[in-house]
Structure 1
Amino acid sequence: MLRFDFYSPEQEITLPLYDQKSVRVFIKRDDLIHPYISGNKWRKLKHPLQQAQHDKKTKLVTFGGAWSNHLLATACAGATFGFQTHAFVRGEAVSNTVLTLCNMFGMTLQFVDRTSYKNKQALFDQHFGYDEAAFFIDEGGYGASGVLGCSEMVAELTGNYDHIFCASGTGTTAAGILRGIQLQKLDSKLHGVPVLKSGEFIREEIARLGVSGSAEMALHTAYHFGGYAKTKPELIEFVKQFTRDTGILIEPTYTGKLFYALHDLLRNDQIDAGSRLLVVHTGGLTGLLGMLDKFSSTAEQ
């Protein structure tokens, strides 16, 4: 059994907006789990890694883009727990900080064109179909094992919350939290903030992942800022201000959009006064490395 002790407290933060709207806001600090096997990345990798170990597999094969937090988490987890790692990277060959870190942790990178990348199982079968040591992990840790890992977060909670907020990409994390709420028989309402356009697809993904009840969750689909990894100046300024005001680092791809949505809902009185809110910080902070130019500013003279 893999042993991995980690730290993920529930931390209350106070801001004038929260006082004005008479709400209490807590953050589930999954970003503190590990510098690289961070946030929901660890939760989605935990059970696949345990399965790989049980099946005596020694090579993890996974998928992601050139700035993928998942690739970096898998590379680090492989080095930590004694697996070889191989990644199919979407698009033309590039070099960047995240991929360099993946290399440092021992991951082999194989760039594939975007058309071939669409069929991940075919890629795995073509290159590793006869390799009995190879173990398939889907992009971003998507799948039932990822749902199970994310559901376990809810059992850790020490407080009672009226609302739980999370960012949504593939729907795995939201599905896991929803399953956890159901298993723990909580009255908490789940709020998902899709970071892609047309985010209603998250409900379908949750159902596809075998979790019922997505019709009862709230999906706030207006906060994608143009699509996945897209930003606008107002989002960048929000991320900078939130980080200054709280001392908690967030980034524009996931957690920035999540907290922006929460603040906008509060400003528009969409959350009842007296509510206790939990916001899940899903980590992924190395994603900032691909956006540093958006945060540069001239030093004050």
Structure 2
Amino acid sequence: MIPPLPASPLERLHHPAAEAAGVQLFVKRDDHYSWEPLDPLQGNKVRKLAPLLARDDLRGRMVVSFGGAYSNHVAALSSAGRRFGFRTRFYIRGEAVRNPTLDLVTRNGSTLHFLDRTAYRRKHDPDFQRVIGLRTEEIVVPEGGSQRESLPYAGAVYAETVDQLGTAPDYFCLSAGTGGTAAGVLLAAYGSPTRVEVFPALRGDWMAKEIRNWLTAPEALTGLDLITDFSFGGYARFPAAWRLYTPAGSVATRAEIKEPLLPPLEPVYTAKLFAGVLHRISAGYYPRGGTVVILHSGGIY
């Protein structure tokens, strides 16, 4: 049985912009939602993989998934395999490379296969999966880790927050890549007064459709506000003023965004999210006395 985890901490953030605006700002530290500090199996990756990890036939099985060369999902699933005794194989988008993320995945005992970008687009096609060697007895996890069965686990981060605050927050803010976590939070928050603000990490107007595709209750979309102004040019693009670095002994890149009192952030998702929320606080988008929660979804390892 996989040992349960306690709720991740909810911390008050006394940022000068929030104090000046009279906004009660909190951070839901899901980067601490892990069995081991600084393990890639943390935060929303734990929650997305919960249905897999709950299986009683997992030990010794082969689990197959997909991702990019710097994928937090690939790193997290490889760590889960090492920790809980199942094997992992990954199909990686692009030409064969080495980097700290893939070196970690290899040390965890995973097998890697690289697919060119044209072939990779067919990754979820059953006929193509047979061509590249997937077997019926293997367990396939989609790219990013989200599955419809994951949504209640992803939404639990909102329920934890309500318990910790003692009330529903006015705003619950999170970053999004595939929309799975956002859909889970929207379902959990449905019927509450909370506005769920979703900050896509990629540019474009496609995120609403992605979230809608996840939802079994489309009416939950009534709680959604899509904030599309803070992708900073698109996936893996960042402002020149940010400082990107990798601490000694770490694998994932960090981002300093020239704001005080912030927790460690990574540049693809959480740095953009925090920058966006702080900008909106300074611009007066949130009412004085309002409660704003930022979800730190992880990626700090």
> Structure 1 counterpart of 2:256, which letter?
K
Deviation, structure 1 residue 102: 0.4
Instruction: Give the alignment partner of residue 224 of structure 2, picking from 200, 217, 225.
Output: 217
Q: Which ranges of 4 or more aligned residues in structure 1 deviate by more than 3 Å?
A: 53-57, 127-131, 234-239
Q: For residue 65 of structure 1, report the CA deviation from its aligned partner.
A: 0.4
The offset of 1:239, in angstroms, is 4.4
Q: Which runs of structure 2 are paired with 1:102-121 in the superposition (5 Å)? A: 102-121=105-124
SS at match of 1:218: strand
Superposition pairs of residues 26-65 of structure 1, within 5 angstroms = 26-34=26-34, 35-51=39-55, 53-54=56-57, 58-65=61-68
- Which range moved further: 90-99 or 116-125? 116-125
1:205 aligns with 210
2:288 maps to 273
Give the CA deviation at 1:43.
0.6
TM-score relative to the length of structure 1: 0.87
Change (3 A) 1:69 1:129: closer
Query: Matched residues in 1 for 2:83 and 2:300: separation?
Result: 20
Alignment counterpart, residue 67 of structure 1, candidates 59, 70, 73 = 70
Q: What is the match of residue 262 of structure 1? A: 277
CA contact (8 A) 2:242 2:258 kept: no
1:179 is matched with which residue?
A: 187
- The answer on 1:141 being equivalent to 2:145 is yes
Asked whether the 8 Å contact 1:36–1:76 carries over to 2, the reply is yes
- Equivalent position SS for 1:125: helix
Match of 1:246, SS state, is coil
Q: What is the Cα deviation at residue 281 of structure 1?
A: 0.2
What's the secondary structure of 2:113's corresponding residue? strand
Q: Which amino acid aligns with 1:116?
A: A
AA of the residue aligned to 1:71: V
Q: Tell whether the 8 Å contact from 2:90 to 2:113 is kept in structure 1 after alignment.
A: yes
Asked if 1:154 is matched to 2:158, the reply is yes
What's the offset of the Cα at 1:202? 1.6
Rounded to whole Å, the distance in 1 between the matches of 2:75 and 2:285 is 37
Aligned-partner SS, 1:120: coil
The corresponding residue for 2:195 is 189
1:9 aligned partner = 9
Output the CA distance in 2 between the equivalents of 1:152 and 1:85.
27
Aligned partner of 2:256 in structure 1 is 240
Cα distance between partner residues in 1 of 2:274 and 2:194 = 18
In the alignment, the residues of structure 1 paired with residue 147 and residue 12 of structure 2 have an alpha-carbon distance, to the nearest angstrom, of: 31
Tell me if the contact between 1:235 and 1:260 (Cα under 8 Å) persists in the aligned partners. Answer: no
Say what the alpha-carbon RMSD is for the aligned residues: 2.1
CA deviations over 1:149-203 (Å, ceiling 9, x no partner): 2012222221131100000111111101111112xx42111000011011x3221
In structure 2, the residue corresponding to 1:102 is in which secondary structure? helix
My pick for the range that moved more, 203-212 or 80-89, is 203-212
CA distance in 1 between counterparts of 2:274 and 2:79 reads 28
Q: Secondary structure at the match of 1:203?
A: helix
Q: State, as a whole percentage, how many aligned pairs show the same letter.
A: 31
Q: How far, CA to CA, are the matches of 2:230 and 2:257 in structure 1?
A: 18
TM-aligned CA deviation for residue 110 of structure 1: 0.6
Name the aligned partner's letter for residue 30 of structure 1: D
**TM-score normalised to the size of structure 2?**
0.87
1:214–1:201 distance in 2 versus 1, CA, 3 Å: farther
CA separation in 1, counterparts of 2:123 and 2:287? 44
Aligned residues: 280
Q: Secondary structure at the match of 1:148?
A: helix
Equivalent residues of 2:90, 2:111 under 8 A apart? yes
Task: Please identify which structure carries the higher helix content.
Answer: 1
**In 1, distance between residues paired with 2:152 and 2:132?**
28
